[in-house]
């Protein structure tokens, strides 16, 4: 691109655009050499059923039975992305910059909090 040129990007959002929270990811390199990342939300699983003791006043007491009995961790996968190597490098660089910015903001906030004390 020639020097001093300008370019404007216009962002168009799908009607169903809805950012979601992710606290983990799973993926790898696919047979085409692209990087696949599947984002998930990890949480404790809800039981299918629970049976509680009930006292004479109708107040729920301790859990007598639970199905399943063992604790289950759910990883709910709602979305993922596939990147070529160049795209992955660009996003890696961008994400690294945003991490530094977030850390600096947190440092500044801590400094302000310490000054208030």
Peptide bond into 62 cis (omega under 30): no
The per-residue pLDDT string of the chain (117 residues; one tens digit each, 9 = 90 and over) reads 667 788 898 999 999 999 999 999 999 999 999 999 999 999 999 999 999 999 999 999 999 999 998 889 999 999 999 999 999 999 999 999 999 999 999 999 888 777 777
CB 61 within 8 A of CB 15: no
Distance CA 101, CA 108 (A): 11
pTM: 0.70
Gap between the Cα atoms of 39 and 36, Å rounded? 10
């Amino acid at each position: 691109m020639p020097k001093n040129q300008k370019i404007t990007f216009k962002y168009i959002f799908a009607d169903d655009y809805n950012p979601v929270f992710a606290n983990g990811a799973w993926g790898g390199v696919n047979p085409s050499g692209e990087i696949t990342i599947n984002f998930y939300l990890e949480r404790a699983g809800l039981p299918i059923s629970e049976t509680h003791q009930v006292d004479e006043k109708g107040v729920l007491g301790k859990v007598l039975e639970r199905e399943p009995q063992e604790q289950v961790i759910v990883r709910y996968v709602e979305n993922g992305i596939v990147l070529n190597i160049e795209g992955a490098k660009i996003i890696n660089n961008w994400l690294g910059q945003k991490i530094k910015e977030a850390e600096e903001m947190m440092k500044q906030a801590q400094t302000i909090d310490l000054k208030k004390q």
